[in-house]
């Protein structure tokens, strides 16, 4: 099917997260290479690139990295190691260690050794928990890199769309509308596009709450962590009552002017720490999510109440205490430019296979918007990146087969692949991440007995 009157179709991308940005790059790299096949417009609700904290760290697997390499322009591929530095041999171990509440090792992954992200990209696609390799990348820097060369329309919050036979219109909160031929909702877990297109596709709520804490800690504290748990870049700990922590770090200092005389308290590292607990623990407890200090105090209270006093408990308390409670003041020396107010969030996911396959139209979804998954296996971004690569490949048949066929092909592949990871992450969270009771898994017992 050819496009009439030399009409160049317009693709509207809603959301400039990793999924939307990689899709933009992939279309430009592969489909607009020699001849411009598509106009691409990308819209983001944030008012600018530094509007919102993007997080310190994120784990990427071989398949996510392969999608990045496939879709980013060569000029950015060659700079990927700036945002995911090569593993430092013998100093950091790109694997996972799991410990009990006292820091006693329960299990560790055997990582395949790799020298750089390019070597990691050649490794098998799906990790097994016993043998897997992950590279921890600087999430905020990866986003900055992916923003390069992308003409984003900032401050455009999409609230829905109008679709008819030959076009689709994105509708924005500011009262404007933009016409396109295809609209792709890359707008995250609360996607208004998904809610309109698939109102029957519901979020699965785990009855678990998480708080994501990004902190800069000094070398003294980092040395205590390494002394307790080794030089793994991913740490998990399991409290005896069912709270868990999950942290990602690089053992690379923030400062690049360190000498052998720099005191330990002036050398800093970054950790992303996720604290997770049963939501019913918050019953009858007052916490103000608009006041980060209130959230910090609550988490510290939970840790003190639910965990035995020991070195690991002390370390967790110190990490939580380091969370910033306000935006950095002008001229203040900080390790963060933007600020992430601490909040409690429900752990939820979306399984795209939990509903019948839907009719493929001019509107489709990508990333967390269609298959948000819990963070415990670190599959979410990896899938969003794979979606972008997959959709670009399918769109290469647009001229020949038309939009419907391309989108159907993409949705068929994306639904099956991502659903598998949503369910594996769910299973892992419900059966492995929480402690066993006498009769089985504590969470499942409580969940099944309807007490949540
Ligand atoms: C604690 C934690 C740790 C994680 N760790 C990992 C990990 O190690 N590895 C991994 O692979 N994944 C991880 N994830 C998951 C990962 O964060 C997500 O899967 C990933 O960010 C999804 O990318 P996305 O582009 O689909 O959506 P998002 O990153 O959510 O981006 C959506 C974009 O759309 C914008 N937007 C939203 N609504 C609108 C609107 N109405 N109009 C316009 N723009 C809008 C948003 O501002 C945002 O920029 C983790 C998640 C959490 C919470």
Verify that 373 and 226 share a domain, yes or no.
no
Q: Say what the pLDDT of residue 448 is.
A: 40
Q: Say what the pLDDT of residue 3 is.
A: 53
Report whether 344 contacts 279 (CB < 8 A): no
Verify that 163 and 297 share a domain, yes or no.
no
Task: Report d(CA 206, CA 363) in Å as an integer.
Answer: 29
> Tens digits of per-residue pLDDT, 394-409?
999 999 999 999 999 9
Q: Does residue 179 fall inside a structural domain?
A: yes
Q: Is 403 left (phi over 0), alpha (psi -120 to 50) or beta?
A: alpha
Report whether 214 contacts 270 (CB < 8 A): yes
Q: Say what the pLDDT of residue 432 is.
A: 64
Q: Say what the pLDDT of residue 55 is.
A: 83
Nearest 10 degrees: Cα torsion 171, 175, 178, 184: -30
What is the distance in A from the centroid of ligand 1 to the CA of 17?
6
Q: Say what the pLDDT of residue 437 is.
A: 47
> Tens digits of per-residue pLDDT, 40-72?
999 999 999 888 778 889 999 999 999 999 999
Verify that 171 and 41 share a domain, yes or no.
yes
Q: Does residue 62 fall inside a structural domain?
A: yes
Tokens 């608009």 belong to 290
Per-residue confidence band for 4, with pLDDT thresholds at 50, 70 and 90: low
In 3D, which of 16, 52, 349, 371 has the Cα closest to residue 158? 16
Report whether 72 contacts 25 (CB < 8 A): yes
Query: Whose Cα sits closest to atom 7 in ligand 1?
Result: 378
Work out whether strand 167-172 and strand 177-180 pair parallel, antiparallel, or are unpaired. antiparallel
> Residue 234's domain is classified under what CATH number?
3.30.9.10
Tell me: pLDDT of 125 over 80.
no
pTM to 2 decimals? 0.93
Work out whether strand 167-172 and strand 135-138 pair parallel, antiparallel, or are unpaired. unpaired
Task: Report d(CA 342, CA 326) in Å as an integer.
Answer: 10
DSSP states of 47-76:
SSTTSS---SEEEE-HHHHHHHHHHS-HHH
Verify that 303 and 278 share a domain, yes or no.
yes
Report, as an integer, the average pLDDT of 153-171.
97
Looking at ligand 1, which atom is closest to the CA of residue 187? 34
Tell me: pLDDT of 211 over 80.
yes
Q: Is 274 helix (H, G, I), strand (E, B) or coil?
A: strand
Q: Is 340 helix (H, G, I), strand (E, B) or coil?
A: coil
Verify that 225 and 122 share a domain, yes or no.
yes
Q: Say what the pLDDT of residue 54 is.
A: 80
Mutate to test the pocket of ligand 1, among 375, 424, 426, 433 (most ligand atoms within 8 A of CB): 375
Mean pLDDT is highest, among 166-180, 234-248, 265-279, for: 166-180
Tell me: pLDDT of 355 over 50.
yes
Verify that 18 and 60 share a domain, yes or no.
no
Per-residue confidence band for 449, with pLDDT thresholds at 50, 70 and 90: very low
Task: Report d(CA 25, CA 77) in Å as an integer.
Answer: 11
Q: Does residue 145 fall inside a structural domain?
A: no
Q: Say what the pLDDT of residue 418 is.
A: 98
> Tens digits of per-residue pLDDT, 357-385?
999 999 999 999 999 999 988 999 999 99
Per-residue confidence band for 131, with pLDDT thresholds at 50, 70 and 90: low
Nearest 10 degrees: Cα torsion 271, 281, 228, 120: -50
Verify that 394 and 302 share a domain, yes or no.
no
> Tens digits of per-residue pLDDT, 278-313?
999 999 999 999 999 999 999 999 999 999 999 999
The count of domains in the chain is 2
What is the distance in A from the centroid of ligand 1 to the CA of 206?
19
Task: Report d(CA 309, CA 316) in Å as an integer.
Answer: 11
Nearest 10 degrees: Cα torsion 17, 21, 421, 363: 100
> Tens digits of per-residue pLDDT, 260-277?
999 999 999 999 999 999
Q: Say what the pLDDT of residue 56 is.
A: 87
Ligand 1 pocket, 185 CB below 6 A?
A: no
Per-residue confidence band for 446, with pLDDT thresholds at 50, 70 and 90: very low
Report, as an integer, the average pLDDT of 190-202.
98
Report, as an integer, the average pLDDT of 133-148.
93
Tell me: pLDDT of 434 over 60.
no
Q: Which comes out higher in pLDDT, residue 329 or 309?
A: 309
Looking at ligand 1, which atom is closest to the CA of residue 46? 47
What is the distance in A from the centroid of ligand 1 to the CA of 450?
30
Q: Does residue 445 fall inside a structural domain?
A: no
Compute how many other C-beta atoms are within 10 angstroms of the C-beta atom of residue 287. 15
Ligand 1 pocket, 20 CB below 6 A?
A: yes
What is the distance in A from the centroid of ligand 1 to the CA of 370?
11
Looking at ligand 1, which atom is closest to the CA of residue 64? 11
DSSP 8-state symbol, 34? S
Q: Does residue 429 fall inside a structural domain?
A: yes
Task: Report d(CA 20, CA 27) in Å as an integer.
Answer: 11
Among residues 294, 319, 347, the one where a domain terminates is 347
Verify that 226 and 184 share a domain, yes or no.
no
Verify that 230 and 261 share a domain, yes or no.
yes
**Domain extent at residue 27:** 1-51+154-203+350-435
What is the distance in A from the centroid of ligand 1 to the CA of 37?
28
Ligand 1 pocket, 292 CB below 6 A?
A: no
Report, as an integer, the average pLDDT of 148-177.
97
Mutate to test the pocket of ligand 1, among 12, 15, 63, 152 (most ligand atoms within 8 A of CB): 15
Tell me: pLDDT of 182 over 90.
yes
**Listed range (61-75, 181-195, 324-338) with the worst mean pLDDT:** 324-338
Verify that 47 and 79 share a domain, yes or no.
no
């Amino acid at each position: 099917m050819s496009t009439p009157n030399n009409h160049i179709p317009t693709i509207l991308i809603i959301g400039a997260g990793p999924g939307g940005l990689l899709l933009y790059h992939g279309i430009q790299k592969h489909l607009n290479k020699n001849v411009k096949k598509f106009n691409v417009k990308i819209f983001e609700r944030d008012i600018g690139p530094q509007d919102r904290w993007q997080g310190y760290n994120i784990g990427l697997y071989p398949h996510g990295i392969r999608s990045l390499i496939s879709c980013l322009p060569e000029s950015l591929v060659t700079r990927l190691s700036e945002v995911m530095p090569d593993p430092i041999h013998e100093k950091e171990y790109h694997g996972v260690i799991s410990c009990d509440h006292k820091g006693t090792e329960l299990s560790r992954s055997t990582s395949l050794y790799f020298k750089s992200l390019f070597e990691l990209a050649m490794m098998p696609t799906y990790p097994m928990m016993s043998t897997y390799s992950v590279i921890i990348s600087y999430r905020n820097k990866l986003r900055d890199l992916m923003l390069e060369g992308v003409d984003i329309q900032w401050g455009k919050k999409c609230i829905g769309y109008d679709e008819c036979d030959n076009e689709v219109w994105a509708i924005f909160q500011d009262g404007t509308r933009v016409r396109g031929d295809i609209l792709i909702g890359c707008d995250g877990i609360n996607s208004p596009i998904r809610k309109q297109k698939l109102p029957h596709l519901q979020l699965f709520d785990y009855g678990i709450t998480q708080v994501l804490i990004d902190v800069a800690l000094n070398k003294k504290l980092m040395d205590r962590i390494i002394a307790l748990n080794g030089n793994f870049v991913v740490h998990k700990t399991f409290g005896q009552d069912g709270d868990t922590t999950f942290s990602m770090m690089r053992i690379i200092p923030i400062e690049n002017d360190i000498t052998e005389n720099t005191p330990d308290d002036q050398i800093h590292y970054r950790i992303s720490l996720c604290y997770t607990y049963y939501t019913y623990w918050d019953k009858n407890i007052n916490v103000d999510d608009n006041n980060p200090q209130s959230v910090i105090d609550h988490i510290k209270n939970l840790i003190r109440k639910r965990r035995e006093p020991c070195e690991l408990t002390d370390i967790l308390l110190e990490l939580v205490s380091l969370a910033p409670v306000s935006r950095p003041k002008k001229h203040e020396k900080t390790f963060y430019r933007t600020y992430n107010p601490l909040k409690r969030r429900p752990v939820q996911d979306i399984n795209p296979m939990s509903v019948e396959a839907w009719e493929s139209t001019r509107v489709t979804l990508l990333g967390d918007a269609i298959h948000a998954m819990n963070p415990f296996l670190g599959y979410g971004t990896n899938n969003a990146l794979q979606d972008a690569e997959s959709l670009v490949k399918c769109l290469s048949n647009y001229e020949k087969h038309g939009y419907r066929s391309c989108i159907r092909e993409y949705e068929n592949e994306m639904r099956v692949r991502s659903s598998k990871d949503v369910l594996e992450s769910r299973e892992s969270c419900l059966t492995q991440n929480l402690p066993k009771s006498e009769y089985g898994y504590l969470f499942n017992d409580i969940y099944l007995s309807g007490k949540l």
